[in-house]
Amino acid sequence: MWRFFVIISLILVSLLWLYFLSVEVPGYIPSIGEKANEISKFPSSLEDLKTLTSVLASIISDDIGFTYVLVLFTSAYLFKQTFAIPGSVFLNLLAGALFGLGLGFPMTCFLTACGATFCYSLAKFAGRQAATRYFPKKVEKFSSMLEENASRLPYFLLSLRLLPISPNWAVNMCCGVLDVPITTFFLTVLIGLMPYNYICVTTGVILSKLTSINDIFTWTTMLQMSGVALMATLPAFLSKKQKKKPSPLPSKIE
């Protein structure tokens, strides 16, 4: 039970920190003015995102404003990833709109890997008993999948990240509960979600031209991501096929 209270405390502390950044600190930045309340909520639609982008872009021109926006963005991104809160696509778009592809892409990749690892650590801290209590079917299914792919674990984890249908929050938690090596976990998240982050950030660079979130994931981009996933899992498939190949009969000894 005490573990549950620790997690709740972490959530509350994180929310207080975000509240301080979004409500208290902007009062010292004159360029925000009446629009300060726009920073106090996560964007949930394209219109919200465009409004938030215009507010943050108005203060990012000087060093103090850039540092503030960077800290706010990093804190919000890690909060969403750590506590498995949906909506990271909006923050990826925001990264492209505010920081451009050169900074936004590597930053979102790194923050995604760090946030997923924090989520992994929280799940590991909560323990397998809590996980099996709240989502037993996912843990059981993922456990059997890990056993089947133990010899090619990095390729298997990469395929889960690269395929668009993968539930990342569930993979993060299950990996923590089932003791997947943390280094392997971090690297596969970092590399495996690069295509997704790249598409979102590059789209965010042209945010003003977007009319719908559906414009991001077209059939073309979905096929591209699926192709990358197939290429990542090909070595594992070939390895499995080679293992199943029967060994030749020994020659007759005269």
Domain map (residue ranges) of the chain: 2-235
Look at residue 136 in the predicted model and tell me its pLDDT. 80
Average pLDDT taken over every residue of the chain: 79
Q: Can you spell out the DSSP letters for 98-154?
A: HHHHHHHHHHHHHHHHHHHHHHHHHHHHH-HHHHHHHSHHHHHHHHHHHHHTGGGHH
Average pLDDT over residues 54-73: 85
Look at residue 215 in the predicted model and tell me its pLDDT. 56
Backbone angles phi, psi at 31, to 5 degrees: -70, -15
Average pLDDT over residues 37-63: 81
Backbone angles phi, psi at 252, to 5 degrees: -70, 130
Express each pLDDT in 226-249 by its tens digit: 555 555 455 444 444 445 544 444
Report the C-alpha gap between 134 and 40 in whole angstroms: 31
Does residue 207 register a pLDDT over 70?
yes
Q: How confident is residue 98, by pLDDT bands cut at 50, 70 and 90?
A: very high
Contacts 24+ apart (CB under 8 A), 55-63: 56/94, 56/98, 57/97, 57/98, 58/31, 58/32, 59/29, 59/31, 59/32, 60/98
Look at residue 250 in the predicted model and tell me its pLDDT. 44
In the block, residue with structure tokens 């929310």: 15
Of the ranges 34-38, 132-136, 176-180, 215-219, which one carries the lowest mean pLDDT score? 215-219
Look at residue 251 in the predicted model and tell me its pLDDT. 41
